[in-house]
Amino acid sequence: MFTSGYVSNLHSQSGRISDVYNPKKVFIGGISALGLLSVAAGFVNDKIPIIILRALIGIASAMTVPSALTLLVNAFPDPLHQARAIGVFGGFAGVANVLGLLIGAMFVQWASFHWVFWFVGIIAIPVALACLFIIPPEIAKSEDKPNAGIAKWKRLDLIGVSILTVAIVLFIFALTSGSADGWATAEVLVPLIMSILMIAGFFYWETVIPANRAAIPPRTWFYNNFAVLFGLALLPFFWWIVVFTIFTTLWQNIFHWSVISTAVHMLPIGVAAFATSFTGSLSRVFSPKWLILTGLSLLVVATTLLALGGGQPDQYWPYVFPAFALGSAGAMLTYTHTNIAIFQVAPVSMAGTVGALLNGALQFGSAIGLAAVGSIETSVEAAHGGPAEYYGRAAAFWFLLAIVLLEFVSVSWLYQTKTDHLPQPKFDDDNTRAAARQSKEETHETHDINHGSKPMKWETSNSPV
């Protein structure tokens, strides 16, 4: 959970890096670091060094997704092709979740956990080398137009990101400690209050610094439908991670299924997600609103099934299997068309930042959601038979169902279809106007210096003398 929360915050900074620097270099650098760090982690046996290396792997991983989305948006400027590309990109993310579990289970069962890290390195390092030649330079140019007089690293919001990172870690710590230590204890209330104050301080800081240096420029929230789409992005990974966590522990610890058997029973999630990822082109025929609502409807049915049954091995086929298929298809439908819609409302120059916010929301939702679900499950199990019973897991799914219904209502009410299928803006008007004003001021200053004390026409016309 802490890893997901940490990575979710790193996404915001990595997206800004992709906008300021060359996204191709950021992507290749992240993939290379991921591969090398994974190889190194495979040779480690001690707990503390592995935790440190996993944190570094999280940083490297966070550099890859926003930069990859920036490259995709640049490579497919046509809305139809862009929608298909983003849909397939999301589909492979869903498949990777299941294949990663299955491949990891095979290594743990038949070899050792070291091969989980080595396998990532074996894949990542050749991919990074291939991308040096495969990715054309034409799509690797940043759309951001920085001031030549300001160093690029100074345009990264290091202070804001640091504040938000600490706030997220404290918030997750408070949620995970509440069920064990009690919600009224100082160990829970102090970090919870501190995290809320720091989050408020972060958003205030974003309004104080120049917009072109902010990790999350305040104007971003006023793009059409952006706020509701951001809230929607909290759900898909939340649903998947809760399902993975609850049934993995149930099947292995209570049913005593093997790691391989557990992974095989998870296959419907990956198959349904991959099949649904090819629906990207539908967004050019139907409004993303109706496609997203369809996905949420499937999630309502699936989550209800999981809340009603699944606590016995013989309930897999009547309850769990259809819930996995319907729910994963719904989550992927929601994820795919949220991706497509959110990139259509933001300018190309903000692609890296928008992609980072979207994927940060995905990770943040899974971290916060898993912490909340864990607290609910633990509290219910303490009063109703312990972890061997299904009551705590059912309560977690009822809570998840309430979140899905809340998202359904918010999209139905707040999503506006008036900008659907309109051309994607090329540049941020605010940035363009600010750059024009700054250029004009610099021109006037230079002109004044060149002419000494001689009054200029524009100066005398505004002078009270």
pLDDT score for 298: 98
pLDDT score for 398: 97
pLDDT score for 80: 74
What is the CATH architecture of 220-416?
Answer: Up-down Bundle (1.20)
**Three-state secondary-structure class, residue 463:** coil
pLDDT score for 377: 92
Q: CA angle 238-31-58, nearest 5°? A: 40
Task: Name the DSSP letter for residue 209.
Answer: S
CA-nearest of 405, 203, 160 to 299 is 405
- Output the six-digit token pair for 86: 């983003």
What string of pLDDT tens digits covers the 465 residues of the chain? 545 444 545 555 566 676 667 888 889 999 999 999 999 999 998 888 888 888 788 888 878 888 888 888 888 888 778 877 877 887 777 677 767 877 887 888 888 889 999 999 999 999 999 999 999 987 776 555 555 445 565 667 778 878 887 887 788 778 777 756 677 788 888 988 999 999 999 999 989 988 777 878 888 888 889 999 999 999 998 999 899 989 999 999 999 998 888 888 988 988 898 888 888 888 888 999 999 999 999 999 999 999 999 999 999 999 999 999 999 999 999 998 998 888 888 777 676 677 778 877 887 888 788 888 988 998 899 888 889 999 999 999 999 999 999 999 999 999 998 877 666 555 454 444 444 444 444 444 444 444 444 443 333 333 332
| C-alpha–C-alpha distance, residues 206 and 216, integer Å | 7
3-state DSSP percent of the chain in helix, strand and coil, to 5: 80, 0, 20
How many angstroms from the chain centroid is the CA of residue 294?
22
- Output the six-digit token pair for 385: 């038979």
Question: For the chain, what are the domain ranges?
Answer: 1-156, 157-215, 220-416
Core vs surface per residue 40-51: b (16+ CB within 10 A) or e: ebbeeeeeeebe
| C-alpha–C-alpha distance, residues 64 and 356, integer Å | 10
In sequence order, which residues have a C-beta less than 8 Å from that of residue 87 and are 6 or more positions away? 277, 278, 279, 280, 281, 336, 339, 340
Cβ(376)–Cβ(36) below 8 Å: no
377-420 pLDDT per residue, tens: 988 998 888 899 999 999 999 999 999 999 999 999 999 988 77
Burial category of 291 from C-beta neighbours within 10 Å (exposed 0-12, middle 13-18, buried 19 and up): buried
- The pair phi, psi for residue 463, each rounded to 5°, is -85, 135
> In CATH terms, is domain 1-156 a member of 1.10.340.70?
no
238-281 pLDDT per residue, tens: 999 899 989 999 999 999 998 888 888 988 988 898 888 888 88
| C-alpha–C-alpha distance, residues 318 and 315, integer Å | 6
